[in-house]
Amino acid sequence: MPNADSAPVRATGAPPAAVDATLLAVPVLGDAASDTLADLPGLDAAAAGAIGDARSSGAFRGKRRETFETGLAGDGWRASRVLLVDASSGPEPLSARLREAAAVAARAASARRVERFAFVCRGEGDPAALAQAVAEGVVAGGFADTRYKTEKDAAGAAPACDVVWPQGDGGPGAAEAVERGVTIGAATNLARELANQPSNLLRPAAFAERAVEAVEAVGVATEVLDEPAIRKRGMGLLLGVGQGSDAPPHLLVMRHEPPNAPAEPVLGLVGKGVTFDSGGISIKPAAGMEWMKSDMAGGAAVVGAMRAIGALNPSLRVLGIVPMAENMPGGRATRPGDILTGASGTTVEVLNTDAEGRLILGDALWHARQCGATHLVDVATLTGACVIALGAAASGLFARPREWSDAVRAAAVRAGERVWPMPLYEDYREQLRSELADIKNIGGREGGACTAAAFLEAFTGGLPWAHLDIAGTAWIEKPREDAAAGATGVMVRMLTELALGNRNW
């Protein structure tokens, strides 16, 4: 994965004035009255008063992701320029605001061809959590997927970064926190690369091969089930989705099993891995279909998380399972009205072949249970209905029981991933009742995200389970101040935090 790792990011004990960097990035945490930048004495004087003028005149208004840049010429300041980045108060925790500001700064530094910049980690909070968030943001902001560009300098290279503190020292554990943030940021970028990969170059076998390479490098054990092995296990739902393509389906199993980990709990992470989704016989409209190369973003998130988990080595057994298939309208493709039988024995009447993600996840959730998972999380670009409900601002969270939902949501908050709880009423399961089989794969137009989640719940065996619908958050179509266009790597941080965090589940 040539672009997943960024330029070096390190913690340094040098005070902001003394750091050897071309550009000094300063997150601004409020307006001029609430954040006077008093912890950076002499900064405005070194900028010839330009910072104060910009803030008082409205040239820097404190809008989300806004920046203001000016020169530094005062004695004692080694950086030649300073970049103010808005991280003003709002509903997000400080760690999330610093992460975003660091990504904005990294992209700005890259656009200016700056080789090394410094970012000032400011504000009250857990120093380690803030330092980790800054490192994650720098690595994410430095990401540019130029693998298929002939002009490699079309985007600036990812700049190196020194993380500094106003007092000159981040305290005990700061360096380790930055390193942890770099690891998680690089794993997020790995997921972005995988989900950006064009489908002609990332069919199921290639996806499995690249995932194995990525996670085995950090000690995660792997097993890849090919089509005969999938058929032997009776996974008729995965086979049914993949049979319309000349690229056979695969199932990837990844295991993090440290010797000091207890036998339970076992966290099972399941990610949808549809490497291209044409919709099958229920074919999609042509407009926007190119984004269906990223219909494996949930699977990419699980691969990225397993990469980070293997590198950070929590004392917890973690399974990562990714069913991989192409959904194509070939002569052997599943037809609307067909009935498939899953590995669990559940029969499914397929009324719409474009509701394929839930089918392959059904078999994967069953397999996670066979592998010993005691707690389940699945991640999938599952429904357009979730996009209508939540837009691109948050991923939908469906979970049982309440304690597990709370644990997953708390991990998301700590990781800076937005999720929003959605209902799992019995009414949604009733919409899936079939006259001919155990269950239908769609329940009509109403409550589409909820009926999809209800379908998945039928395969969880009553285990604590959470489903994350990332259809609206898995990619962005246009670049932003903090992120390149394309895959976002959403949920890598949350899944990693769930494995790393203090477990009360």
The residues annotated as belonging to the active site are 284, 358
| Three-state secondary structure call for residue 271 | strand
Residues in the chain: 505
Residue 253 tokens, joined: 């199993």
| Three-state secondary structure call for residue 364 | helix
The secondary structure of 289-321, three-state, reads HHHHHHCCHHHHHHHHHHHHHHHHCCCCEEEEE
On whether the CB atoms of residues 488 and 145 are closer than 8 A, the answer is no
Which DSSP string do the residues of 393-457 spell out, in sequence order? S-EEEEEESHHHHHHHHHHHHHHT--EEE----HHHHHTT--SSSSEES---STTHHHHHHHHHH
Residue 263 tokens, joined: 């036998």
Residue 380 tokens, joined: 């999938």
Which DSSP string do the residues of 31-72 spell out, in sequence order? -TTT---TTSTTHHHHTTTHHHHHHHHTSS---TT-EEEEE-
| Residue in 331, 386, 383 with CA at minimum distance from that of residue 356 | 383
**Cβ count within 10 A of residue 433:** 11
| Residue in 114, 138, 130, 211 with CA at minimum distance from that of residue 173 | 130
Q: Dihedral sign, CA of 490, 493, 499, 501?
A: negative
Residue with tokens 């200016």: 112
DSSP state at residue 223: E
Strand 347-349: give its sheet, edge to edge. 339-341, 347-349, 439-440
C-alpha–C-alpha distance, residues 97 and 457, integer Å: 34
